[in-house]
Amino acid sequence: MITTNVFWDSLKKLGFNFFSGVPCSILKPILNSVPIDLLYIPAVREDSALGVCSGASLSNKKSAIFIQNSGLGNIINALTSFNLIYKIPVLLVITWRGEPGVPDAPEHDIMGKVMLPILDILEIKYKIIDDNFPKQLIWADEIMVKEKVPVALIIKEGVVK
Amino acid sequence: MKRHEAIKIIFEGLTNELVITTTGMISREAFSAEDRKENFYMVGSMGLVTPVALGAALSLNKKVIGIEGDGSMFLNLGSLSMVGSRKPENLITIVLDNGCYESTGGQYCISTELDLNSIAKSCGYINTAKVEFEKSLKEKFKLFLEKTGPSFLLVKVEVSRQEAVPRVKHSPEEIKERFIKEIIN
């Protein structure tokens, strides 16, 4: 378990300063504790969140989106026809609803099962967030800086409190 | 007024503004009108011009102009509400509305049945205008460049399939690299 303080401080320390997203209950602790000095733009759709963060990324900001995995479906075109071909890095923090073996609502069953294979097919690197979050973030940031592509961090229920 | 004529008028009014153009013929006609370093041609990602322009406008002290088609605007109408909620003063959204999906063969678009201008106003754009003629486009665009935004300019254009408009010759990475360089300067 990591605290929201550690979570946001780690992002701040690496210079992340522009955020957007669409809420998920797993994201509640994070989105309800956005530090006042950081810019968070509420988005109406996940691809708009990615778009607005990409515009910021083009403009010298370091950006991240927070979305539910259902919204991964909504950003695939943006990833394939924008971020991955123009090489525009944005950190993707994606929740894991419907993880196999974990009871959840039926609408999450399929995406819960196929989320990681989708990221593999898109060749988007990812890690599942655990207590080593600060180090995992450094790993993601290094790839974003070096390869200029989005990197995903997957977040499960209760990992950030 | 034909679409490429509208684009030409817009580009003649520019100085150092950043311009982000939507996928299809609009990017190609913008590329043909004037291949500026401040131009960002979105070759794919229909519907993302307004969010990307919003992100840039919120991050920079420069004027940012997003040029949409009616089809791409309707693909992501919600993005207008994101602009309206944040109200970046330096953002102008232009929609070149020909009432159809011309890049893919002229299929009907519902823009002819709805008033995009009222939608933009309801979403929170400060200045909105609809123009149909070259002279009024020139005047309104000049005015919106001076005004505190966000501003929304709906430009009604004729269906005007042009033959042999070249594709954008730069690769997506090249487009991005020179755009970023321009921003940093």
The CATH number assigned to the domain holding A57 equals 3.40.50.970
Which among B47, B56, B76 has CB closest to A55? B56
Q: pLDDT tens-digit profile of B62-77?
A: 999 999 999 999 999 9
Contacts of B172 (CB under 8 A, 6+ apart): A85, A86, A87, B43
Q: Which domain holds residue B97?
A: 3-184
Distance CA B165, CA B25 (A): 8
Question: pLDDT at position B152, please?
Answer: 98
Domain count within chain A? 1
- Regions of chain A short of the pLDDT cut 50: none
Q: What is the pTM of this model?
A: 0.96
Q: Return the higher-pLDDT residue of B161 and A140.
A: A140
Which chain A residue has its CA at the smallest distance from B180's CA?
A58
CATH code at position B177: 3.40.50.970
Distance CA B30, CA B39 (A): 8
Instruction: Summarize the confidence of residues B20-45 as an average pLDDT.
Output: 95
Closest CA to A63 of A55, A71, A53, A50: A53
Question: pLDDT at position B104, please?
Answer: 87
Query: Measured over all CA atoms, what is the biggest interatomic distance in chain A, rounded to whole angstroms?
Result: 42
Are B56 and A58 inside 8 Å of each other by CB?
yes
Name every chain B residue with its beta carbon within 8 A of the beta carbon of A51: 45, 48, 50-52, 54-55, 79
Which among A18, A20, A55 has CB closest to B53? A55
Distance CA B6, CA A60 (A): 31
Q: Which domain holds residue A58?
A: 4-155
Distance CA A20, CA A53 (A): 7
B62 by Cβ neighbours in 10 Å (0-12 / 13-18 / 19+) ranks as: middle
Domain count within chain B? 1
Q: pLDDT tens-digit profile of B29-39?
A: 999 999 999 99
In a domain, A147, yes or no: yes
Distance CA B129, CA B117 (A): 7
In a domain, A161, yes or no: no
Are A45 and B76 inside 8 Å of each other by CB?
yes
In a domain, A45, yes or no: yes
Question: pLDDT at position B164, please?
Answer: 84
Q: pLDDT tens-digit profile of B74-131?
A: 999 999 999 999 999 999 999 999 998 988 888 889 998 999 999 999 999 999 999 9
User: In the predicted model, what is the mean pLDDT of chain B?
Assistant: 95
Which among A47, A55, A87 has CB closest to B55? A55
Separation in Å, CA of B160 to nearest CA in chain A: 27
In a domain, A80, yes or no: yes
Q: Is B54's pLDDT higher than 90?
A: yes
Question: pLDDT at position B163, please?
Answer: 74
The percentage of residues in chain B with a pLDDT greater than 90, rounded to a whole number, is 85
Distance CA A19, CA A33 (A): 13
Are A52 and B45 inside 8 Å of each other by CB?
no
